[in-house]
Chain A
């Protein structure tokens, strides 16, 4: 076969190719110029995807301590801890925020943190400190609850856990997989706390028989399966603060959803921060932990992360929709065996 190349198009094509090539090389160089890794003098904060803070408060820290803050969002709470464990001793950053009371044991055993006693530590309630075995490896910063959100447009909500396994609620609930989702895991923990170690399995079997939908993570559950956003399920595992968040984001006067389970049956997740063992900038890491306990930082937590600040600070007006009665379900954290829970749950739900 003969291949002819039109002579007139050759110079044009050559110019175009040359231009394209130079653009590509420029792009390549500009990326490389951004450097390999974080510069000296920076504080690298490793946290999960749900982390958020006002630019203002971060800028304040940078001013007061003379360091640039770089934020690494390492995945959800579970991936965050896994990454830290994989990198123990040679961490990706200096301070880690987002370790919770369920995964603390695992991280402590993997020797991920180095100790630091925060200045305001004495002001943190004892029962919260106990969630981390009162250890100095981490410092609690905020806490939250996972609950079932109900779409008000769907009528009358269920009232208890037991309602969910009854016939009228068949096919109405969507939950997240605890193996891959932090709220999913917390909901599982709530059922363990409520029903006890021996009986929660039966509850989940009943849920499965009642056509519960299981999805990967909060985004899929809330944004694609929840009926508020065009999904097919009026009940979703989300946060007690989600109704308030709807008010905040949608600029509403009333939340379109409500929380279902009474608070004393819910598991409380406490989030903490810790200095990573082997951190390059330990001084700044410690300063940041203290900074997270200041009133200014605590005050902006509700509007950025939608969890409850640990220190008594004033909260925004719309936060009243997130009010909870502070009597969480009791679960002895030292006996928690998350791995076994997940294995058993998987065996029940996926086979």
Chain B
């Protein structure tokens, strides 16, 4: 795609580069993109840190469910997120209903910068909570206890002991969130407006009109460069977090042993968390089961009614295909991601970080460009895979494997290097060392990454949209089809399908919770 853009008439041309780089409009876009990414990141960290604290330090009933629920937004298709926010914040939404009942005047949230920022936090909270929380849960308590013994109060302990230890994790979470919000597409597209276009949306618009493909190509290159920088920062910081041997088992304690300060924190953070994460989801579910304020199951029931047209996607078939793609993509992602993770862990220093960043690139490429790229690549002779479900499978595997990579890498780096050495010293051959020492340790991480990959594949929308056929349509596609026609029933059906998607995702994540290797691992 980049090549086509760079050579519009078959001849490479630098005109587009000059015209784009000298156009103030594009610089403004770059500035806006960076600014909103920074703000989104700050907000996410601000909300995420207390949440990470609560979830990693305290054991309370329903903790796994809360953690799973926080992670759900991360994998929701963006149109579903837009719908959820609309159900909540729209003029006839629940919030407005409450406001008006209390005598206030109606307001609208869409098309504002706040809508974008809120949605970004909604999406990315999971990253901060799990990354930072994961490390926090396993932080060596002895150092903090030593500080307290020597006379430091809670604040000083936090400032000089806990925070520095956490800083690499916080910074790497921030870098990752920055990457995601910098390249944010769906959220900005739907909840923003032309004034709030990011670079990615601008590229999409330019590419949508083929004549401006050269400009799109130049902007893509700029974005890619910026993303690589951000990702390299992330991977370098992450490398410094996982110091082998510093991690201890989960130190969560029960809620009973809280101080008044901690209780105050809970009282403040819990409502914010609820509003940010639970409310949009709850609004969505409510929309799927009510009509004009009355509880009804009609939308779910009507999912199974064949409309007799080619646009109808039977929900069971959609679910079956979503699962099939998810399982297949997970299989590929496990093989690719695990190998990549081990390779990166074994590499040294700078090379390791750069390799890591490059391997994470699929996360930074817009799904639509990915889809278009596939169509123009796999189109000749025996490689003509257009129309084949294999292409969708590859696309899903591509966006899923980075998660396996991250999970495996975290554990591989924190694995005690003495263990395989000891096994070798005792006479085990390299393959035995691998099979009986390293693999069992990595297996759990692979499982963690695999279930995450599974969930991401379930929610994949952008590339699938471009590559789909009715014969193998997935649940996000079915949601999209339902939304394409007017009528409250169609909207209700879309919400019902979205609810099913969320339910399946929560179940998948609850499975992660059962198999987390003592909470070591990034996700």
Residue in B82, B332, B386 whose CB lies within 8 Å of A92: B386
> What separation, in Å, do the CA atoms of A92 and B197 have in the docked complex?
32
Residue of A nearest to B24 (CB): A351
| A37 in contact with B441 (CB, 8 Å) | no
A37 CB to closest chain B CB (Å) equals 5
- Cross-chain contact of A37 among B108, B195, B248, B388 (Cβ < 8 A): B388
Contact with B along A49-76 (1 / 0, CB 8 A): 1111111101000000000001111110
As a 0/1 sequence over residues 201 to 232 of chain A, the CB contacts with chain B under 8 angstroms (1 = contact) are 00000000000011110111011110101111
The answer to whether the Cβ of A24 comes within 8 Å of any Cβ in the partner chain is yes
A133-191 contacts to B, CB under 8 A, are 177, 179-180
Contact yes or no, B419 A3, CB < 8 A: yes
Contacts of A13 in B (CB 8 A): 443-444
For residue A86, CB closer than 8 A to chain B, the reply is: yes
Q: CB-CB < 8 A to A51: which residues of B?
A: 310-311
If A3-B416, A79-B208, A250-B488 touch, does A90 touch B247 (CB 8 Å cutoff)?
no
A166 smallest CB distance to B (angstroms)? 21
Determine whether B87 belongs to the interface, using a CB cutoff of 8 Å to chain A: yes
Contact of B308 with A31 in the complex, beta carbons under 8 Å: no
Contact yes or no, A27 B327, CB < 8 A: yes
User: Whose C-beta in chain A lies nearest to the C-beta of B518?
Assistant: A3
Q: Using an 8 Å CB-CB cutoff, how does the interface string of B362-394 with A read, 1 for contact, 0 for none?
A: 000000000010011001101011111110010
Q: Is the interface of B mostly helix, strand, loop or mixed?
A: helix
Contact present for A86 and B376 (CB under 8 Å): yes
CB distance A28 to B379 under 8 Å?
no
3 nearest interchain CB pairs?
A: A249-B487, A24-B331, A230-B92
Q: Does B470 contact A (CB under 8 A)?
A: yes
- B386-416 at interface with A (beta carbon < 8 Å): 386-390, 393, 415-416
Are B205 and A55 in contact, with the CB atoms below 8 A?
no
Q: A20-B450, A38-B387 are in contact. List 5 more A-B contacts (CB 8 A).
A: A34-B388, A37-B387, A51-B311, A54-B309, A87-B379
Interface residues of B (CB under 8 A from A): 25, 79, 82-83, 86-87, 90-93, 108, 110-111, 189-190, 193-195, 197, 204-205, 208-211, 244-248, 308-311, 323-325, 327-328, 330-332, 334, 372, 375-376, 379-380, 382, 384-390, 393, 415-416, 419, 440-441, 443-444, 447, 450, 465-466, 468-472, 480, 483-491, 494
Chain A 240-255: CB-based contact to B (< 8 A → 1; otherwise 0): 0010011011100000
Which residues on A sit within 8 Å (CB–CB) of B465?
A: 75
How near does chain B come to A198, taking the closest CB pair, in angstroms? 23
Contact B466 A75 (CB under 8 A): yes
Chain A nearest Cβ from B344, distance in angstroms = 21
> Is A83's CB within 8 Å of the partner chain B?
yes
B489 close to A350 (CB less than 8 A): no
> Would you call A336 an interface residue if the criterion is a C-beta within 8 Å of the partner chain's C-beta atoms?
no
A339 to B159, CA, bound (A): 58
B386 contacts across to A, CB distance below 8 A: 37, 92
A225 to B388, CA, bound (A): 36
- Contact digits for A17-54, partner B, Cβ 8 Å, 1 yes 0 no: 10011011111101110111110000010000111111
Inside 8 A of B450's CB, which chain A residues have their CB? 20
> Once the chains bind, are B25 and A49 in contact (CB under 8 Å)?
no
- Do A87 and B390 have beta carbons less than 8 Å apart? no
Using CB atoms, name the residue of chain A closest to B325. Answer: A31
Known: A55-B310, A249-B487. A230 touches B93 (CB 8 A): yes
Looking at the complex, which one of B310, B328, B416 makes contact with A58 (CB distance below 8 Å)? B310
Is the beta-carbon distance between B375 and A87 smaller than 8 angstroms?
A: yes
- Judged by a CB distance under 8 angstroms, whether A102 is at the interface is no
Contacting residues, chain A, for B416 (C-beta < 8 A): 1-3
Smallest CB separation, A254 vs chain B (Å): 14
How far, in whole Å, are A52 and B313 apart by their CA atoms in the complex?
A: 12
- Please state if A213 and B331 are interface contacts (CB–CB under 8 Å): no
User: Whole-angstrom distance from the CB of B453 to the nearest CB of chain A?
Assistant: 11
Q: Which residue of A lies closest to B111 (CB)?
A: A213
Q: Which of A1, A79, A242 contacts B245 (CB 8 A)?
A: A1
How distant is the Cα of A56 from the Cα of B388 in the complex, in angstroms? 25
CB <8 Å contact, A349 and B310? no
Cβ–Cβ < 8 Å partners of A250 in chain B: 487-489
Does B389 contact A180, Cβ atoms closer than 8 Å?
A: no
Q: Which of B91, B205, B310, B376 contacts A71 (CB 8 A)?
A: B310
Beta-carbon contact of A177 and B332 below 8 Å? no
Instruction: Tell whether A82 is near chain B: CB-to-CB under 8 Å.
Output: yes
Q: Is the CB of A70 within 8 A of B331?
A: no
- Asked, given contacts A230-B90, A250-B487, whether A27 binds B331 with beta carbons under 8 Å apart, the answer is yes
The CA-CA distance from A351 to B310 in the complex, in Å, is: 41
- Among candidates B189, B380, B447, B485, residue contacting A90 with C-beta atoms closer than 8 Å: B380
- Given contacts A27-B327, A37-B386, A72-B387, is CB(A232)–CB(B310) below 8 Å? no
State whether A179 and B205 are in contact (beta carbons under 8 Å apart), knowing that A1-B248, A87-B379, A232-B90 are contacts in the complex. yes
A23-B419 in contact given A51-B310, A215-B193 (Cβ < 8 Å): no
| Known pairs A3-B419, A31-B390, A51-B310; A245 contacts B90 (CB<8 A) | no
Contact sample, A vs B, 5 pairs, CB 8 Å cutoff: A52-B309, A75-B466, A223-B491, A245-B486, A351-B25
Task: Find out whether the CB atom of B393 lies under 8 angstroms from the CB atom of A31.
Answer: yes
**CB neighbours of B211 from chain A (8 A):** 339
Closest residue of chain A to B83, judged by CB?
A: A224
Does A304 reach chain B (CB closer than 8 Å)?
Answer: yes
The answer to whether A229 and B194 have CB atoms under 8 Å apart is: no
Looking across the interface, which residue of chain A has its beta carbon closest to that of B92? A230
CB of A78 within 8 A of chain B? yes
CB-CB under 8 A for A304 and B309, given A13-B443, A246-B487, A249-B487: yes
| Cβ contact within 8 Å between B380 and A213 | no
Which residue among A73, A82, A304, A351 has the maximum number of chain B CB atoms within 10 Å of its CB? A73
A331 within 8 A of B: no
Is A85 on the interface with B (CB-CB < 8 A)? yes
A38 and B444 alpha carbons, distance in the complex (Å):
40
Contact A56 B332, beta carbon cutoff 8 Å: no
In the complex with contacts A23-B327, A27-B327, A351-B25, A214-B194 CB distance below 8 A: yes
Contacts of A232 in B (CB 8 A): 90-91, 108, 110
Chain A nearest CB, measured from B461 CB (Å) = 13
Q: A83-B375, A231-B90 are in contact. Are A179 and B472 (CB under 8 A)?
A: no
Bits for A332-347, please: 1 = Cβ < 8 Å to B, else 0.
0000000100100010
The CA-CA distance from A295 to B488 in the complex, in Å, is 31
* Residue A126 lies at the interface, judged by CB distance under 8 Å to chain B: no
Specify which chain B residues have a CB less than 8 angstroms from the CB of A245 in the assembled complex. Answer: 485-487
Q: How many angstroms from the CA of A28 to the CA of B327 in the assembled complex?
A: 7
Chain A residue numbers with a CB within 8 Å of B382 are: 36
Q: In the docked arrangement, what's the CA distance between A87 and B309, Å?
A: 28
A102-126: which have CB < 8 Å to B?
none
In whole angstroms, what is the CA distance A316 to B24 when docked? Answer: 54
Alpha-carbon distance between A179 and B393 when the two chains are bound, in angstroms: 30
Report which residue of A10, A179, A238, A349 has the largest number of chain B beta carbons within 10 angstroms of its beta carbon.
Answer: A179
How close is A29's CB to chain B, nearest CB, in angstroms? Answer: 8
Q: Is the CB of B190 within 8 A of A230?
A: no
In the complex with contacts A245-B485, A350-B194, A351-B25, A180-B205 CB distance below 8 A: yes
Contact A30 B82, beta carbon cutoff 8 Å:
no
Q: Are A24 and B328 in contact (CB under 8 A)?
A: yes
> Are A28 and B331 closer than 8 Å at their CB atoms?
yes
Interface check A326, CB cutoff 8 A: no
Pick the contact of B91: A52, A231, A350 (CB < 8 A).
Answer: A231
User: Are A224 and B194 in contact (CB-based, < 8 A)?
Assistant: no
Q: Among B91, B324, B387, which residue has its beta carbon within 8 angstroms of that of A230?
A: B91
Known: A73-B468, A224-B83. A55 touches B325 (CB 8 A): no
Q: Which residues of B contact A92 (CB under 8 A)?
A: 375, 379, 386-387
Measured in the bound complex, the distance between the Cα atoms of B25 and A213 in whole Å is 20
